[in-house]
Amino acid sequence: MVKQKNIATSVYNKNRQDSFKKNTAWMMFGNTYYAVCQWMVLVTLARLGGAEDVGVFMLALSITGPIVLFFEFGMRTILATDVKNEKDYSAYFVARIAASLSGFIICLIIALLYGSSLFWIIMIIGLSKTTESFSQMYYGYALQQQNHKRISISLVMRGTASTIILMLVYLMTKDITVSAIAYTASWLITLILYDRNNVTEKLHLLDKDTIKNAWLVILSGFPLGTTALLGVLGLYIPRYFLERTHGIADLGIFSSMAYFITVGNIVVYALGQAIMPALARNHANGEKEKFRKIVLFTFGLVCIIDVIGISAAYLIGKPVLDIMYGPEFSAHANVLPFVAIAAAITYLANIIGYAINAKRIFMAQAPAQLIIVIVSILGAWYYVPLYGLNGAAYVLILSSVTMFMSFLGVYFIYRKR
């Protein structure tokens, strides 16, 4: 009987490991494919238009992205962990509508402040990010059901449709605003035809309990939204200063180079997802030496990636930029190595972040991220007006070093936990 129980436990653990590997593979594939598709959007705008159109598109994303991210209130995470279904679909849906509407109104106000030349593109991209916030909610349901495949398929559909449609429309019209409308429409179609099918539960009539539960969802998500906002601002702050002081074209050039950080982070994300379960088990079992060895081993792997990335930026950065974006961008290839250095430090900081998360140290991360934002603002205020593109890259390095030191500080302060 005991032997049969041990066999059953062994089979269960193996099936769970296989399921985890499949889910990780699906998420890795979907996120990689989607990131490449978004990169192709930048390549299309750069090759067919130029740095100014890339700058317009990236300014709209840089403005609306953090706002919508905050108003997502971490609903994807809340839903994924609501395994007891403490709140019904109607409460989440009402919370999502209220939060998304609030975020879109703020995007609209900022668009009005930028004036007629940028109003429509900011508003349209704001609408696309708002649409994405609903998709994120439905992804939460898919995660709750351990159905990572649906998320991956959605990312492939959304990435493929938006990239191809934007390419075709931009090729025909050379109008960034019209192209953004087509881009947004493809996201909306994916949401309506596919993403919402993650939920089989029906909406019921709005009542006091639904409104109360929706408010509780928003309150519980506020800290998650704040943390997410602080987490991305360090990347966007140099862009705001660059656009204000040196113009939209320089923003386009810098954003195109900075996207290499996102592409490289896919590999680091995969490593992080791979080590997190093992780190969490080691921490729970008090196996500090095993925990430390995994972190150091992963650090070593990331250092190899960093050396390759920085070397490539120095040795072949100019021809790569010329092939991908064109001569207008490759003329500033001297900036790319600095971006690569910032990326290298950021990747190492992210590994420390995974170690901190494995120890379930969450609240202490918010002050660390606030420090990063403050340093980024001060650095951008000083360096960007003086040095332009190079200055923006210096700020990225400064922010990444601050991130590394802050996370390292949190790790050692709580090392006995």
Residue 67 near residue 240 (C-beta atoms within 8 A): no
pLDDT tens digits along 69-102: 999 988 887 777 776 777 777 888 899 999 999 9
32, 160: one domain: yes
Q: How wide is the angle at C-alpha 158 spanned by C-alphas 44 and 80, nearest 5°?
A: 135
Q: Residue 259's closest CA among 48, 61, 28, 49?
A: 61
Q: Decide which of 145, 174, 206 is a domain's last residue.
A: 206
Q: Decide which of 142, 177, 206 is a domain's last residue.
A: 206
160, 29: one domain: yes
Asked whether residue 84 is domain-assigned, the answer is yes
Residue 231 near residue 350 (C-beta atoms within 8 A): no
382, 277: one domain: yes
Asked whether residue 7 is domain-assigned, the answer is no
CA torsion angle for 189, 195, 201, 202 (degrees, to 10)?
Answer: -10
pLDDT tens digits along 208-251: 888 888 898 898 888 888 888 988 898 899 999 999 999 999 99
Asked whether residue 218 is domain-assigned, the answer is no
According to the per-residue pLDDT averaged within each range, which of 128-142, 254-268, 274-288, 337-351 is highest? 337-351
Asked whether residue 103 is domain-assigned, the answer is yes
200, 70: one domain: yes
Q: Decide which of 206, 226, 257 is a domain's last residue.
A: 206
Q: Side chain identity at 49, as an amino acid letter?
A: G
152, 277: one domain: no
Q: How many domains does the chain have?
A: 2
Q: Is the pTM of this model over 0.95?
A: no
User: Token pair of 48, please?
Assistant: 């067919």
Asked whether residue 70 is domain-assigned, the answer is yes
197, 261: one domain: no
185, 136: one domain: yes
258, 403: one domain: yes
Residue 298 near residue 271 (C-beta atoms within 8 A): yes
29, 173: one domain: yes
Q: Domain range holding 380?
A: 247-417
